[in-house]
Structure formats: structure tokens, C-alpha cells
Chain A
Amino acid sequence: MIYLDHHATTPVDARVLEAMLPFFSEQFGNAASRQHAFGWAASDAVERARKQVAALIGAGSKDVIFTSGATEANNLAIKGAAKARRDRDHLVTVATEHKAVLDPMARLAHEGWKVTVLPVDRNGLLDLGELAAVITERTALVSVMAANNEIGVLQPIREAAALAHAKGAWFHTDAVQAVGKVPFDVEALDVDFASITAHKVYGPKGVGALYVRRKGRTVAAIAEIDGGGHERGLRSGTLNVPGIVGFGRAAAIARAEIADEAARTMALRERLRGALAANTEGMTVNGALDARLPGNLNVSFDGVDGEALLVSLDDIAVSSGAACTAAEPSHVLVALGLSKDRALASLRFGIGRGTTAEDVDYAAAKVADVVTRLRAMSPV
């Protein structure tokens, strides 16, 4: 089985697992136990990891709040910032965001907030002119994802953040897919909140973080989870020490290897795209190619049902739309203006650390075979 679904999740790197293991058994202390050495060891490990995660995104370590994952981080940033800004009543986001942004926004809209969901162009990119036009002095928060989880498109975060700040709004980005894959620096981009997660960068599932700006601009979020005041009072609950240690190690590896990894995965992506285009007629790449995650390819095939294609690719793990909404046409592809047919006939390839040239060659040949067979089977 060839795994080409690295946007869904990644395997835990062996170096990460090795770092985590002692914290399940010998070093099992609670990081909040301040009275004995077990607690101190756990706390030291968490703070080392916090520095490693912060370094990956150019933050200070105190700016990093550990959470259970990016969904929690997004909820904390969006709902927390909204609750902290009762003087304003407007939120802005984009149609191609992950559900972990769109659903909290919808919840706030239900509670009375005005929420503007901006469209994207055919390439999946946000129009900065449209963004500027909707942000007002009533806007509390603007949330724009750094890299899209389906089509890999990179949004103009620095420019979007500047537009938000010009009207006194805070800026959040769901940076889950971007961090560790392309340069992402909270200072250079001037973002106020950024959600990240370990399992997209070869760390464990169940641990993520929210970057919350502490210098230059005063921002705040009201906690979603109370009970002990952990993580600067923003996220109570006993810390997942093995997971956090793994996240830290994964972040350090990603930081050290990002340039080589990006070049290698992009070369493989282009090899895959070239082979697919050469062997399969009627293929369209969804989303901008020039502003895109290096390991992402999202394509549609005319005259083929995407689900049947996916099921027929019995030894290749790829995805059709987002993993959690596979039975429906992707809201991201629909936002790009794709027809329902074409949106359903899409495949997302996510190339990652373990992917080889042989893997992508095999996948391209197999996709071409199956597409040809399904087309021959079609009565229309």
C-alpha cells in the first residue's frame, strides 16, 4: 500500500517516537506537579518542546499554548478572540477554510455575530481587494488559512494580516498545513493567532498549539476550557507530556529539514503531475500551481466518478476531497467554481517524507489505468 495522503496525517517519525517513549513510563510525571522531581522532569520536557515548537514558527516560547490539536486551537482563537472583543461584532473568513474554522464561525453567527465568508477565485486565492472592502472598524477578527488542506494553495497571509490590522482587527491563521512545509514566521507575517498541529509534521495525533501574540500588539482570547489555569489560563487540563515532547522533536526536525524536504517533495509532485498529464487525458489541476504546498497535487478527471476512482485505487491511499467529508462534493472545490461532477471527480495527492519516485510512478500508472477503465465503463 502506497501512502499519498500526507495532508490527512503523517506517520510518527522514528526519531519522534524515540523521544516520546520515556515520557509514557519512566518519566510519567505531571508537568503541573511542582513539589517533586517527577513533575520537574515533565515540566522541563514540556518547556523544551515549547521552545522547539516556537522556533519552528518564529515565536517566543511563551507565545505557544499547547492544545489537543488544531481544531481546539482554531476554536480557542476564534471563539476566544470574539469573546474578548465584545466592543466589535463582525468576523471575516474565507469559503475554503477547514471546517474547524467554518464551524466555529457558524456557531458565532448563530450567537449573533455578523460573519463574512469571502469567496476565492478559480485558483483558490483570496482577493485582497475584496478582503479590504469587507473589513471595518466593527471587525474583531479575520481568519485566513495559510495553506489549504485540499488544494494546497498558499494565501497571502502577510498582506491579509496588514489589512486586518489597518482597521484594528486581529488576525488568525490556520497554519496546520503550511508549518514545516513552507517558511512560516509569525513575526514576518505579523499574525496574532496561528493554529498548528503535530500530526501533520510527523508528530503524534492529539497535540497541537495555538500561537498567541504577546508583543507589539495587545491581543487576548477567553479560554474555552477552565479548570486549573494551565497554559497561561488559556487551556486548562493536564498536559499531554509525551505528545508535547513528540511535537517538540517533530518541530525541530521539520525546522532542520524544511528546505531539503520542500525541494524533494516538489520534485516528486512535478514528476507525478507530468506522468499523470502524459498518461491521462482530460485532467485538470485544481488550484494555483505557483502558490502551493510543495507536496500537494489536486486533480480532476473528466468523465470519471471520483469515489469509484478512489475505491479502484486499492493499493494507493489518496483522498477525494477532505477526509471527513468524502461523501459530499468538497466545499473547497465548489468554492473554486468547479461543477459538482468535477468536484466529485477529484483526487488529492499528498506527498511526504517517506514518498519515493517509485511510489509516484506507480501511482501515476495506476491512476491512468483506472481512469481509462472507468471511462470505458461509462454509458455517457
Chain B
Amino acid sequence: MRYSDEVLKRVREPQRVGALPAGADVGSGVSGTLEEGTVTRIDVRVTGDRVVAARFKVFGCSAAIASASLVAEWLEGGSLEEAKALTAERVVAALQLAGEREHVAQQAIAAAQQALASVAEGGTK
């Protein structure tokens, strides 16, 4: 599988890997299962209407790592409105993912949306 430079740099020198400590302003979302081959977790911390921090963890292929990394990158520093508008199509386009890898972009977006919803529901504490 050949990947774009956008994927490779995120796999080889990943940024924003990790989890955020639980808190009322922190949300966490998990998408995928081990049986499916990919599990993506995204955590966000929200202050007012801004996502002030985003972290990710992934078990899966390079495309899954790059997708979660890119989504965390886009989330951090953006508004909630921008965060909710993120789509898998944007991830696929930015990373130039092949068709058979699109589902990992959808997982990253699903984990992000779950994390945002989790903050709205009172966070992880």
C-alpha cells in the first residue's frame, strides 16, 4: 500500500497522541472494534465554544493513525461549530486515501463526534 506524504508524516512523527485526563470539560469517543481491525479514540477538552485540546489513540493501520491525527489537528483550536462540520470526505481528500481505506476516516470522524457529544452530556467526570 502506497500512502501520500500527508499520511506518512503523521504515522512516522505522530502529534497529539494520548488521552486527556477526565473532567467535566473533557469528552471521549471510541469507534471501531478489534474484530474490525481498527479502534479509534478521540478526546477533546472544550472551553466555551472552542475545542482547546484534542488527543487521539489508534489501534490500526497507517490510514487510521493519520486520519485520527488529522482530525485531532483540525479539532484543536477550532470552534465547536467547525468541529461538528468535519466530514470523512475532507479527511479522505486531505490524506488522499484509497477507496478501501475510507472507513477509517469515517471512524475518526465518528469518534470525534462522540467526544463532542460526550462533553455536551457532562463530560467524562
Contact = CB atoms under 8 A, between A and B. Distances in A.
A344 interface: yes
Most B CB within 10 A of own CB, among A326, A341, A377: A377
A314 B1 CA distance: 14
B70 interface: no
B57 A308 contact: no
Interface residues of A, number: 18
B94 interface: no
A127 to B, nearest CB: 31
Which range contains the number of B residues in contact with the other chain? 20 to 34
A343 B111 CA distance: 27
Interface string B65-103: 100000000000000000000000000000000001000
A305 interface: yes
Interface string A369-380: 000010011111
B17 interface: yes
A136 interface: no
A293 B11 CA distance: 33
B60 A308 contact: yes
Interface in B1-51: 1, 3, 8, 11-12, 14, 17, 19, 30, 34, 37, 39-41
Contacts of A373: 14
B41 A379 contact: yes
Contacts of A377: 14, 17, 57-59, 65
B11 A303 contact: no
B69 to A, nearest CB: 10
Nearest to B2: A311
A351 B3 CA distance: 26
A378 B41 CA distance: 9
A311 B58 CA distance: 15
Nearest to B60: A305
A325 to B, nearest CB: 11
Given A312-B12, A314-B12, A376-B17, A307 B62 contact: yes
Contacts of B120: none
B57 A340 contact: no
Given A327-B100, A378-B58, A307 B1 contact: yes
Nearest to A326: B1
8 contacts: A308-B65, A312-B12, A373-B14, A376-B17, A377-B17, A377-B65, A379-B30, A379-B41
Given A314-B12, A380-B39, 9 more contacts: A303-B59, A307-B62, A341-B37, A344-B37, A373-B14, A376-B17, A377-B58, A379-B40, A379-B59
